[in-house]
Amino acid sequence: MEGIEHRACFGGWQDVWRHHSEVLECAMNFAVYLPPQAVNERCPVLYWLSGLTCTEQNFITKAGAQRYAAEHGVIIVAPDTSPRGDDVPDADGYDLGKGAGFYVNATQAPWSRNYRMYDYVVDELPALVEANFPATDARAISGHSMGGHGALTIALKNPDRYRSVSAFSPIVAPSRVPWGEKAFSAYLGEDREAWKQHDAVELVKSSGGKLPLLVDQGDADEFLATQLKPELLREACESTGHPLTLRMQPGYDHSYYFIASFIGDHVAHHAAALRG
């Protein structure tokens, strides 16, 4: 690994590292916040998945999560949102290709060689973090928008790997909205049955675990009606008895101003599960 950034922050350190990903076949950046407690003890880890167009930088510079991570003694790991590099396939537009990995394992050419963000987040990155940092194997996961989709679906598919999950403004039913339909058609092909394995609403219906879901959604979000549709998640959870806390926050939009306003609640939620 190569250190890219090392900055003092709330008594701990905000670092950015670069490594070669065997899964993605490219160099990847990921951010790690080490709270002050990590000097003397191994700490649990909250994984944060960012949304469309983002890199590892958006969350660490805009959300203000380090303050709360330092308070609770939680490491925060924030990977990039897709493979990167000159040899990695890309597409026109912001919602497919680089910056738009959607946290799936692509099965279709030309994407299938590099776009394996599901395996990266679930397996390769935690193994790297737990081998190289003062991290325990107690994990939580959260994210925003496309990353909220990733957090929910990954946790629902792997309830034994995560102690808690939350999301801001998640794409809860990508199989039924334009962002998801475009990405899934490209990455997974036209078989909509295959899409269900990466759709939180569908996974709630079939999930054997009952990991509680915490979702914050702004009611002034410009994507609420067309891309996010949290009511579909509520309906699925009610019909299956899956525990869901869906907080509709009045006046808030899709931006990091929204995330910064409630990130303290989410870090506290995860810390209680991770250290409980």
Active-site residue, from 21, 50, 142, 145: 145
CA triple 96-98-103, angle to 5 deg = 75
126 token code pair? 């935690």
Cis peptide before 250 (omega within 30 of 0): no
Active-site residue, from 72, 149, 254, 269: 254
Active-site residue, from 169, 221, 269, 270: 221
Helix or strand or coil: residue 90? coil
| Helix extents (H) in the chain | 57-62, 66-72, 117-119, 125-132, 146-157, 178-188, 192-195, 200-206, 230-240, 256-275
**Letter for the amino acid at 32?**
V
254 is catalytic: yes
Pair 17, 30: CB distance under 8 Å? yes
**Letter for the amino acid at 128?**
L
162-189 residues labelled b (16+ CB within 10 A) or e (exposed): bbbbbbbbbbbbbbbbebbebbbebbbe
Specify the residue for token string 């549709």: 229
**Active-site residue set:** 145, 221, 254
